[in-house]
Structures are given as C-alpha cells and as structure tokens.
Structure 1
Amino acid sequence: MKISIIGGTGSQGLNLGKRFAIAGEDVIIGSRKEEKALTKVEECLDLLKDYDNIKMEGMSNEDAAKAGDLLILTVPLSAQKPTLQSIKDFVGDKIVLDATVPLETAIGGSPARFIDLMEGSAAERTAKILKKTDAKVIAAFNNISNSLLENIPEPIDCDCLIAGNDNEAKKIAIELIEKIPGVECIDCGKLEKARMIEKITPLLIGLNIKYKSHYGGLRITGISRE
C-alpha cells in the first residue's frame, strides 16, 4: 500500500513519513511545490541511510493524491481548505487521515488555545469539502507530538485517538498506525467525536509548555479493545 502524505514537508508530515518508511511502507511526500518535496525526501533518505529498503519519493500534492492508496493530511488549519481543493478531484474513495487541529496559531494566537469551527471539527470540515467524493475521512494523529514522532527509533508512549464513520476504513487505519512502535489506536466512534479529540491537542501543548517538556502524550487505560 502506498501512503501519500499531503502537505507532507512540514515536521509532522516528514516524521510520519520516516516512521512509516522504517516500518516498511511505500511513502510519498506531497507538497504544493514538487521541488520542495523532492528536496525534503533527499534529506530524509540521507537521515535514514542506515535502514534497509526505505521507500520514499516526492511529488506534488496532486500527483501524490493520485498515486497514493491512503492519504494523510498534515497541514496547518490555514492551508487545509486550499490543499483539499487542489486534490479533491483525485481522492475518489480513498481513506483520508486528517491530522489538522484548529489552533489559535492560525490567527496569530496561542498554540494552547482552540478555534471553534462551524463544521464542528477540522476533520468534519475535510469531510464537507470532500463530500462529492467517496472519501472515507478519519481524524488521526491529532494528539501525538512532533517531538515523539521525530525521536527515532524510540517507541512512542502515546495512544492515537481516531474517529470516523466507516468501520472498515478505521480497521485499515488502525493496522497502519500501529506499525509505529509503541502506538496503540483507540477508536472513539463516529467522525463527530473529532470535536473532542482535536480539543485535547491544545491541552497537551499547554501541559508541555508548563512542564518544559516536548514529549507529553495521552494513554487511555482500563478498557479492552477485544
């Protein structure tokens, strides 16, 4: 399965790309400008030169959306709508994992504060933009910090909360996400649950700032997924 990371040249997208490439996945890094994607992929390949069989290539977002079997959206809120508009003709019925969080940084505010969207959540906003496609949108990766992702090869002591309306798509997403060492997925239910999942992110950011850490995460205890 080819994993296309749309808007993947930022730290979150690249670190997810590295993690999945190390796990043996075929990764495509997408960018608004293909040249930037190619440059970032070269840098990643150099960093991962001690690993065998790394598969990573760079493309424009549009070409990445066409080529990927599963898409991961890793852009700031301000870039969410234009990025989705640019790829929506190529999404089809693919699974789209949306890592967007509506933080106040989008309007020059604090990263520890949340912006309320009229759609309810960033993931629901993605679903609305892609409503004329058969895309299966899932909120994911909202609560895993870039520092944890970047701390390769250390396992990540954090759960990944997901939400989406298609149960089969969520099973595929969970299988993929749990290829990252240490991560366990928690299915929180329908896509509307993204409204709560996304609001945890500014709380975690605030806690990391307060306690001078970069690695604060979330574990859900006392439940069985069997």
Structure 2
Amino acid sequence: MKVAVIGGTGPQGLGIAKRFAIEGVKVIVGSRKEEKALTLVDETKKELKGYDLNMVGMANEDAAKEGDILILTVPLTAQKPTLGGIKEFCTDKIILDATVPLETAIGGKPYRFIDLMEGSAAERTEKILEGTGAKVISAFCNISNSHLANIPNEINCDCLIAGNDDEAKNIAAELINKLPGVQTIDCGILEKSRVIEKITPLLIGLNIKYKSHYGGLRITGIPQFEQK
C-alpha cells in the first residue's frame, strides 16, 4: 500500500509523511512543484538518517496517480484547485481530508472558523470529487504540526475520523493506528466532520492562550476504533 500525501511539503503534510515513513509505510510526498517535493524528501532522509525511509517526491498529480490512499493536507484556499488537478486519479480511492476552514484563509484569526456552504471541508471534498467513487474521510484535523514533528516522541492525541463508508474507515483506521500514541475514534458519518473541524480552532486558541504547541484531544470512556 502506498500513501500519497497531497500538498505534503507543508508542516502538516510533511509531518504526516515522516511519521508514516518511519513506521515502514511507503510514502509519496506530493507538491504543486515536483522539485520542491524532491528537495524536501532528500532533506528528510538526511534528517532522519537513522531510519530506513521508503519515501519519494512527486508532483501532486503523479502522487495521486501512484498512491493507493491519498491524504489531503492543503490550506482551504488550495483545496478546490488541488482537488481539481488530481480528480481524474481519485477513482474509487480513499481520501483522508485534513482540511480545516480557518479564518486565516481570508486574512483572519487562526482560532476562528469559516462556515462553508457544503457544511464542512470534508463534505466539500466529497462534492468536488462527486462521480469518481472516492471514499472521503475526515482525518488528522485535530493533531498539531508540533506533535507530528516531535519525532521520535509518541503523539499524545486521538485521531477523530468521519466518513460514510465503513470498509474505507476500517482501512484508514488500520493505517492511522500505526502512528505511536494515536488512537482512532470513529465519529460516524461524514456529516460529523462539521463538528470535528470546529474543534481545531478551539485547540489553536488554547495553545495560544497557554503558550503551548502540543494541545491535543483525548476522548475518554470510548473504545479505540474496532475493525468490523
């Protein structure tokens, strides 16, 4: 299984790519410009030279074509054009969407949320990819870049996911649970992404208030995702 991180050269995307590669997953780092992806992959391999990383860099379109599971890690403003560029390669694939509609997209505060016509960024992705058979799952919205970059320490957070396809969520959970310290919590249908995404600006606000970079979320009293 190859995981393609679309928009994988930003802090979130590269952090996710590094974490999965360390766990032995075949990772493709996608970027709008192939050269940038290749450069960052080369730098990552030097940075993490103690690990045997199976990681390559490609343009987003090539990454989407080659990847079995795609992880979308782009800002809200880049969501629509990025998906438009890779749509033809998304047929019947699982798409993990980490997009959060923050007010920074329009020059506002990072702890404020933008309400989208579709209800959530993940539902917007589903709408854009309509007709491809892609299974869209909201994921990684609430795990901070600092946690991802804090290698080799465990990620002390839950990963809340939501999607309409149970089989796709099973596959996604098996992948996500490879990350040390992460527990996957199934929140239900994709519509639940409206709530999941709104948790992120709250966490950002708390990190600002308490001068932290590691504020995260743990759900208590609920079992970790169980494959069906």
State the match for 1:18 in structure 2.
18
AA matched with 2:46: D
- Superposition TM-score, scaled by structure 2 size: 0.98
SS in 1 for 2:159: strand
Deviation for aligned residue 1:76: 0.2
- Superposition TM-score, scaled by structure 1 size: 0.98
Deviating more after overlay: 31-40 vs 119-128: 31-40
State the match for 2:45 in structure 1.
45
| Residue 136 (structure 2) pairs with residue 137 (structure 1) | yes
AA matched with 2:45: L
AA matched with 2:154: P
SS in 2 for 1:176: helix
AA matched with 1:108: G
Aligned length: 225
Deviation for aligned residue 1:45: 0.8
Among all aligned residue pairs of Structure 1 and Structure 2, give the percentage whose two residues are the same amino acid.
Answer: 75
SS in 1 for 2:136: strand
Where do 1:41-120 residues align within 5 Å?
41-51=41-51, 53-120=52-119
| Residue 190 (structure 2) pairs with residue 191 (structure 1) | yes
Deviation for aligned residue 1:212: 0.5
C-alpha distance in 1, partners of 2:24/2:135? 24
C-alpha distance in 1, partners of 2:87/2:151? 33
SS in 2 for 1:16: helix
AA matched with 2:24: G
C-alpha distance in 1, partners of 2:223/2:2? 30
State the match for 1:2 in structure 2.
2
| Residue 166 (structure 2) pairs with residue 167 (structure 1) | yes
Deviation for aligned residue 1:48: 1.1
SS in 1 for 2:160: strand
Deviation for aligned residue 1:223: 1.8
C-alpha distance in 1, partners of 2:222/2:165? 22
Q: CA RMSD in A?
A: 0.7
State the match for 2:212 in structure 1.
213
Gaps of 5+ in 1: none
SS in 1 for 2:211: coil
Moved over 6 A (4+): none
State the match for 2:223 in structure 1.
224
SS in 1 for 2:29: strand
Deviation for aligned residue 1:224: 2.5
C-alpha distance in 1, partners of 2:93/2:208? 37
C-alpha distance in 2, partners of 1:123/1:224? 24
State the match for 2:200 in structure 1.
201
Gaps of 5+ in 2: none
C-alpha distance in 1, partners of 2:21/2:159? 19
AA matched with 2:158: D
